Amino acid sequence: MKQIETYRHKKILVLGLAKSGVTAAALLHKLGAFVTVNDRKPLSENPEARGLLEEGIKVICGDHPVELLDDGFELIVKNPGIPYNNPIIEGALEKGISVITEVELAYQISEAPFIGITGTNGKTTTTTLVYEMLKEGQKQPLIAGNIGTVASGVAEEATKENTIVIELSSFQLMGIEAFTPKIAIITNIYDAHLDYHGSRKEYIKAKANITKNQTENDYLIVNYDQEDTMEIARHSGAKIIPFSTKSELSEGAYLCGEWICFNGEKVMEVKDIALPGVHNLENILSALVAAKLTGVDNLAIQEVLKTFTGVKHRLQYVSEINGRKFYNDSKATNILATVNALAAFKTPVILLAGGLDRGNEFDELIPYLRNVKALITFGQTAPKLERVAKEAGIKMMKRVDNVGEAVPVAYQYSQSGDVILLSPACASWDQYKTFEVRGDIFIEAVHKLK
């Protein structure tokens, strides 16, 4: 990593722990900063905080006292999940104190260039596809970010020979200053996280941050089929390369008949792609552009697309039991993601759905429920989902307490040839800490059926 002097002897507050906060605090300590960590969880229940305390880092736990701002901090590194209406954040911004996320730290210390991927849906799949294509092409990629590996930890180990492929949320992108990916991808933009951002306009503005520092020496890969992504492109300083599943383009990646093409060249027949779902063609095309820009050849791209069947919790094939195929799409935390999952199957589906109630209704699902023969609901949104299921003409419905109970009930409603699909259309936080926990419970329940 670069041995920067930027933070030596500076007073820095790391607000919120989890993986990113722990890594950021330890890194800043190494870089000579005077670090204070503040986390809401009490010290007695907080092994991460105790570990930092043992390293000589000041730790304050139990709540977020606004009086901390009287300590003269010059910078705050914020956990992405902490909203900007947090009193400490509001107070810091009023005082002119910079507030960043650890992605900015990663960029500042990294010797490796970044390929950054954001968007409402498809981020994880696209990030993984780019990583796998670069790996197959012998480009020494590292994977980081919102996909589960802390960016600044990866950047510490990266060299000039590596490329860091990073998934970025809107929350992370709100906290950048100098961060500049050599290649940026915006997969798509739909309404999401409006409870955090306050409006669609602010959400789009956060996503657009991925390209705010790019120049003509950088690349922005955007969805040609969406006005919002193309509007971001019009204000970018990067070289724009589009992808489209609907139009043949003079430059970029697109469908040409039964092939995926790049700049007029046929790369691979669609029928040979292993990853299911029409929506995944967007992810594949955007990843293809990034791989091509990095010098990956067609053979390496073809090998990945012939064998890659998806990432965990994103339309993940789990098992087949007596002719029923089980798919885990726990990462479907919004309606569009569930729409895409349902569109991937032609056979009858037993749908498992429900979760955190963010105040929205689910009427947009109705046209896509025609293949759903039964609905198993759980969580806060169960009544809302049952209402739209009735309107869609679904006769078989059952409400259960949790995902673990939903699996055997779904099996009872199914027969050979059916798909049993967990695609909740909701966040998990009413019952589960993360969508990963929810998905793991589903997988475990499927294996118990065996």
330-348 b/e (C-beta count within 10 Å ≥ 16 → b)? bbbbbbbbbbbbbebbeee
Helix or strand holding residue 40 (H, E): none
Give how far the C-alpha of residue 165 lies from the chain's centroid of Cα atoms, to the nearest Å: 13
- Provide CB contacts within 8 A for 243, sequence distance 6+: 221, 222, 223, 224, 249, 252, 253, 254, 282, 285, 286, 288, 289
Q: Is the distance from CB of 21 to CB of 79 less than 8 angstroms?
A: yes
Whether 355 and 425 have beta carbons less than 8 Å apart is answered as yes
d(CA 162, CA 141): 5
Going by C-alpha positions, the residue among 163, 159, 161 that lies closest to residue 131 is 163
| DSSP 8-class letter at 118 | E
Binding-site annotation: residue ranges for ATP:
119-125
DSSP conformational letter for 174: T
**E-assigned strands of 249-315?**
253-256, 259-262, 265-269
Residues near 430 by Cβ (< 8 Å), separated by ≥ 6?
355, 356, 357, 379, 380
In 251-332, at which residue ranges do the beta strands (DSSP E only) sit? Answer: 253-256, 259-262, 265-269, 316-321, 324-328
Q: Provide the CA 316 distance to its chain's centre, in angstroms.
A: 15
